[in-house]
């Protein structure tokens, strides 16, 4: 069973936390609340689908401070800022730092739910991309040292006979190794192999 996305609310105003919790629970989300940025950092979330609703101004570390801290620690939870004191410069800074939205209090329910839906789509896309990248790296790890050398030659645009000359092996061996590379990486054409190779940490490219 797929777990519900968790919406994390960080706001020092208890009435805001309560109102948002009621709204989001009714909308079918799981909710966790925190009274400060410090509380969130002391009890960081697991790496599960969700997003972060973050007040801009709070006693102690601000919302922007928390956003910076999350970035430093590699926490990539989509952030939606909301504030009664937002200004254009602050909003621009937040968005440049990776926030997916910047809302002004009081936030209309429809606007908030739309922002959350967009943030969750962003989170899902990132997780899908990350999973695909991890799978590709795992397949790349299955290549032998010689197969990786052949792949380097293919990426460099060399013909089989050129790769064979560079590596000091027979052309038929290059053809066999190239076929193995394509099979292991899941490529069916040379063009597809090139697209896959572009996503790999190859040296000398």
CATH code: domain of residue 123: 3.40.50.2300
Tell me: do 103 and 180 sit in the same domain: no
pLDDT value at 204 more than 50: no
Q: What is the CATH number of the domain that holds 156?
A: 1.10.10.10
Residue 134 φ then ψ, to 5°: -65, -40
Residue 129 φ then ψ, to 5°: -65, -45
Q: What is the pTM of this model?
A: 0.60
**Distance (Å, whole) CA 7 – CA 96:** 22
Which structural domain range is residue 169 located in? 142-197
pLDDT in tens, 42-90: 887 777 888 999 998 888 888 888 988 888 877 778 999 988 776 767 7
Tell me: do 84 and 67 sit in the same domain: yes
Tell me: do 113 and 164 sit in the same domain: no
Using 50, 70 and 90 to split pLDDT, how confident is the model at 15?
very high
User: How would you classify the pairing of strands 101-104 and 6-10?
Assistant: unpaired
Tell me: do 91 and 148 sit in the same domain: no
Tell me: do 97 and 174 sit in the same domain: no
Tell me: do 38 and 96 sit in the same domain: yes
**Distance (Å, whole) CA 153 – CA 151:** 5
**Distance (Å, whole) CA 150 – CA 98:** 39
pLDDT in tens, 21-47: 999 999 999 999 999 998 998 887 777
**Mean pLDDT, the chain, whole residue set:** 84
Give the long-range contacts of residues 117-125, CB within 8 A, separation 24 or more. Answer: 119/51, 119/78, 119/79, 119/80, 120/5, 120/49, 120/50, 120/51, 120/78, 122/51, 122/78, 123/5, 123/49, 123/50, 123/51, 123/77, 123/78, 124/49
What would the two tokens of residue 197 be? 């190779």
Domain boundary among 137, 159, 177: 137
**DSSP classification of residue 141:** T
Element holding 46 (H helix, E strand): none
For the four alpha carbons of 41, 67, 11 and 125, in that order, the dihedral sign comes to negative
pLDDT in tens, 88-145: 677 777 777 778 888 888 888 999 999 999 999 888 887 776 555 667 777 788 888 8
Domain boundary among 137, 159, 175: 137
């Amino acid at each position: 069973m797929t777990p519900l996305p968790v919406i994390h609310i960080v706001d020092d105003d208890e009435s805001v936390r309560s109102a948002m919790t009621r709204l989001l629970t009714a909308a079918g989300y799981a909710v966790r609340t925190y009274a400060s940025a410090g509380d969130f950092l002391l009890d960081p979330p697991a790496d599960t689908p969700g997003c972060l609703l973050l007040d801009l101004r709070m006693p102690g570390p601000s919302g922007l401070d928390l956003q910076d801290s999350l970035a430093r620690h590699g926490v990539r939870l989509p952030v939606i800022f909301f504030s009664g004191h937002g200004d254009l410069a602050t909003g621009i800074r937040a968005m440049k730092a990776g926030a997916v939205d910047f809302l002004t209090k009081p936030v209309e329910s429809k606007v908030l739910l739309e922002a959350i839906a967009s943030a969750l789509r962003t989170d899902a896309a990132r997780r899908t991309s990350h999973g695909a990248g991890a799978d590709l790296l795992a397949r790349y790890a299955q290549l032998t040292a010689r197969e990786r050398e052949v792949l380097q030659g293919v990426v460099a645009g060399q013909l089989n006979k050129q790769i064979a000359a560079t590596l000091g092996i027979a052309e038929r061996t290059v053809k066999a190794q190239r076929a193995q590379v394509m099979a292991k990486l899941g490529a069916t054409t040379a063009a597809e192999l090139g697209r896959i190779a572009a996503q790999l940490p190859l040296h000398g490219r």
